[in-house]
Chains A and B, each alone.
Chain A
Amino acid sequence: METKADVVKKGIADLLELPRDIVLDLPKITLVGNLQLYIENHKGIIEYSSGIVRINTKAGILAVTGAGLTIRTIVVEEIIIVGQIDRVEFLQ
């Protein structure tokens, strides 16, 4: 569901070679092995249990499945999830 403004932003980002995560307000996700997941620029958590964590982002809902998941840190900008991570997927 891209708006016209998003299309323009994307064009400018491509033209000026700016990082897309900043211009488009997208999440930046870093995965360390299958042990730690680091998400910058999230929009809040939707579901949290030890088997699945669902996080709202601008790019859609990010679902992390695994076992023994805990939230190491949660602040407005970032979340760190640790545990055994099996799958990371976007639910559109």
Chain B
Amino acid sequence: MLVVRVWNYIRGYVIIRVEGINLERFINLAIANGIYFWDIERINYTAIRARVGLKGYKQLRKIKKRINCRVSILEKRGCPFLLHRVLKRKALLMGGITAIAIMYFLTSFVWVVEVEGIERVSEERIIKELESFGLKPGAFKYFVDTRDIETRLLIEMDQLVWVGINILGTRAVVDVVERTDPPSLIDKDVPCNIVAKKDGIINNIFVYQGQATVKEGDTVKAGQMLISGVVEEPDRPLRMVHAMGRVEARTWYQLTEEQDLKLTERVRTGRSEKRIALGLGKYTIGLSGKKPEFQYFDSVTDINRLVEWRNITLPVELVIENYYEVEVSEEILTIEAATELAVERAHQGLSGMLPEDAEVVDKKVKYYEMDNSRIRVEVVFETLEDISMEERIDIVHGED
């Protein structure tokens, strides 16, 4: 019935008062003519109140002539009347149109420029460059040629490898990828020493230029000088050279891993629920979705805030919660299996720590049972690697 009422409201109807002697005849005649009435109420002996559609009301005139009765409108309801009233109020209508036009106009500008993906390059610099290309708060967004600006920014800034500009509403999001520079080398002409990068035992030392200060089998600490660039020879003046050489040393990498004997595994089943809510300050209003009925689940919550403007954060946010159903399985591991797992993890961790040129010569695994439920594994990699590192010689001038 709600549908019928909504439909009647859209079409528009009037509440009429009919006065006369034989109103039953009036009703019969009306329905015989196909006029639809509803909510007929008796007011008193000579009057009824009823609702009738707009079209029906026009047709009533014919019946009025045939039966001696008086029809008056008590109320007009529905969209056509509402529309008519609104259209009559020209100022309001103009205001509404102007508001929409202004909103459309204002959303045609870029209001915020966000730079993402920067680590070393200064954000200010990028923003300044973008500004000079025409992408700045207040720029008309249809005039901003993002492809062109991307290319120009890449040409202008050597530190960037890739730039992507997306205009999302009134935000311009600039994604950048920085160039990773190779480590800077000291120029061949500049005198330098070779020092140890890390602790180790010298295995091999080849000196191309300079004077070795350690020998094979020596234990060195990080930062210790290995090959000196200051060459002292009898009967000759002191020489400063660019020390060069290869110092191969034994180094150790150690990693400790712990492992519970009770292994709980969470596997996503593929079923998920999404819940969207509107956060207003402390309150949240659910917009769609519901809390999941899963027994175990992982939840991931995204909070989207409106744009910040001059340190004013609106307390309005869109909260999207994703729930993923998981199956939890428990397994009691044997000590061997647990050790294997921990060692594998330690190996992975260690491989990440090793430099590229390091060569693993030995692996040692020690494990302890901590109590009945945990084990600890200590994995030590013994490696051979070049630990040489150039260090500039700072010449301290003595005071004359």
Q: How far is the CA of A87 from the CA of B34 in the complex (A)?
A: 30
Q: How far is the CA of A71 from the CA of B49 in the complex (A)?
A: 10
Contact with A along B26-55 (1 / 0, CB 8 A): 011001101011111110010010100000
Contact with B along A56-92 (1 / 0, CB 8 A): 0000000000000111111110000000000000000
Q: How far is the CA of A16 from the CA of B37 in the complex (A)?
A: 38
Instruction: Tell whether, in the assembled complex, residue B39 and residue A45 are in contact, meaning their CB atoms are under 8 Å apart.
Output: no
- Residues of B near A70 (CB, < 8 A) are 39-42
In the complex, chain B residues 336-383 whose Cβ is within 8 Å of any chain A Cβ? none
Instruction: Tell whether, in the assembled complex, residue B27 and residue A47 are in contact, meaning their CB atoms are under 8 Å apart.
Output: no
**A46 in the interface, Cβ–Cβ < 8 Å?**
yes
**A49 in the interface, Cβ–Cβ < 8 Å?**
yes
- Residues of B near A50 (CB, < 8 A) are 41-42
**B393 in the interface, Cβ–Cβ < 8 Å?**
no
Smallest CB-CB separation from A47: which chain B residue? B24
> How many residues belonging to B are interface residues under a CB distance threshold of 8 Å?
17
Instruction: Tell whether, in the assembled complex, residue A48 and residue B42 are in contact, meaning their CB atoms are under 8 Å apart.
Output: yes
User: A74 and B37 in contact (CB under 8 A), knowing A48-B42, A48-B48, A49-B42?
Assistant: yes
Instruction: Tell whether, in the assembled complex, residue A46 and residue B31 are in contact, meaning their CB atoms are under 8 Å apart.
Output: no
**B23 in the interface, Cβ–Cβ < 8 Å?**
yes
- Residues of A near B24 (CB, < 8 A) are 44-48
- Residues of B near A45 (CB, < 8 A) are 24, 27-28
User: A76 and B27 in contact (CB under 8 A), knowing A48-B42, A50-B41, A70-B40?
Assistant: no
Instruction: Tell whether, in the assembled complex, residue A48 and residue B40 are in contact, meaning their CB atoms are under 8 Å apart.
Output: yes
Instruction: Tell whether, in the assembled complex, residue B37 and residue A71 are in contact, meaning their CB atoms are under 8 Å apart.
Output: yes
Q: How far is the CA of A47 from the CA of B24 in the complex (A)?
A: 6
- Residues of A near B36 (CB, < 8 A) are 75
Within the complex, what minimum Cβ distance (angstroms) separates A71 from chain B?
A: 4
Instruction: Name the interface size band of chain A.
Output: 10 to 19
Chain A CB within 10 Å, residue with most, of B24, B32, B37:
B24
- Residues of B near A44 (CB, < 8 A) are 24, 28, 31-32
Instruction: Tell whether, in the assembled complex, residue A73 and residue B38 are in contact, meaning their CB atoms are under 8 Å apart.
Output: yes
Instruction: Tell whether, in the assembled complex, residue A48 and residue B37 are in contact, meaning their CB atoms are under 8 Å apart.
Output: no
Contact with A along B136-158 (1 / 0, CB 8 A): 00000000000000000000000
- Residues of A near B37 (CB, < 8 A) are 71, 73-74
Smallest CB-CB separation from A56: which chain B residue? B28
Within the complex, what minimum Cβ distance (angstroms) separates B86 from chain A?
A: 31
- Residues of A near B42 (CB, < 8 A) are 48-50, 69-70
User: A72 and B41 in contact (CB under 8 A), knowing A48-B23, A48-B24, A48-B48?
Assistant: no
Instruction: Tell whether, in the assembled complex, residue B31 and residue A76 are in contact, meaning their CB atoms are under 8 Å apart.
Output: yes
Instruction: Tell whether, in the assembled complex, residue A74 and residue B41 are in contact, meaning their CB atoms are under 8 Å apart.
Output: no
- Residues of B near A48 (CB, < 8 A) are 23-24, 27, 40, 42, 48
Contact with B along A11-54 (1 / 0, CB 8 A): 00000000000000000000000000000000011111110000
Q: How far is the CA of A13 from the CA of B242 in the complex (A)?
A: 120
Instruction: Tell whether, in the assembled complex, residue A76 and residue B39 are in contact, meaning their CB atoms are under 8 Å apart.
Output: no
User: A74 and B39 in contact (CB under 8 A), knowing A45-B24, A46-B24, A48-B24?
Assistant: no
Contact with A along B292-329 (1 / 0, CB 8 A): 00000000000000000000000000000000000000
Smallest CB-CB separation from A79: which chain B residue? B31
Q: How far is the CA of A87 from the CA of B393 in the complex (A)?
A: 115
Smallest CB-CB separation from B34: which chain A residue? A76
In the complex, chain B residues 208-250 whose Cβ is within 8 Å of any chain A Cβ? none
- Residues of B near A74 (CB, < 8 A) are 27, 31, 37-38, 40
Contact with A along B48-87 (1 / 0, CB 8 A): 1010000000000000000000000000000000000000
Instruction: Tell whether, in the assembled complex, residue B39 and residue A75 are in contact, meaning their CB atoms are under 8 Å apart.
Output: no
- Residues of B near A71 (CB, < 8 A) are 27, 37-41, 50
Q: How far is the CA of A35 from the CA of B37 in the complex (A)?
A: 20
Q: A48-B48, A71-B38, A75-B36 are in contact. List 4 more A-B contacts (CB 8 A).
A: A44-B32, A47-B24, A73-B37, A75-B31
23 A-B pairs within 8 Å (CB atoms) are namely: A44-B28, A44-B31, A44-B32, A45-B24, A45-B28, A46-B24, A48-B40, A48-B48, A49-B45, A50-B41, A50-B42, A70-B41, A70-B42, A71-B38, A71-B41, A72-B39, A72-B40, A73-B38, A74-B31, A74-B37, A75-B36, A76-B31, A76-B32
Ranked nearest first, the 6 interchain pairs of A and B with the lowest CB-CB distance are: A71-B40, A44-B28, A50-B42, A70-B41, A49-B42, A45-B24
Give the B-binding residues of A (Cβ under 8 A).
44-50, 69-76
Give the A-binding residues of B (Cβ under 8 A).
23-24, 27-28, 31-32, 34, 36-42, 45, 48, 50
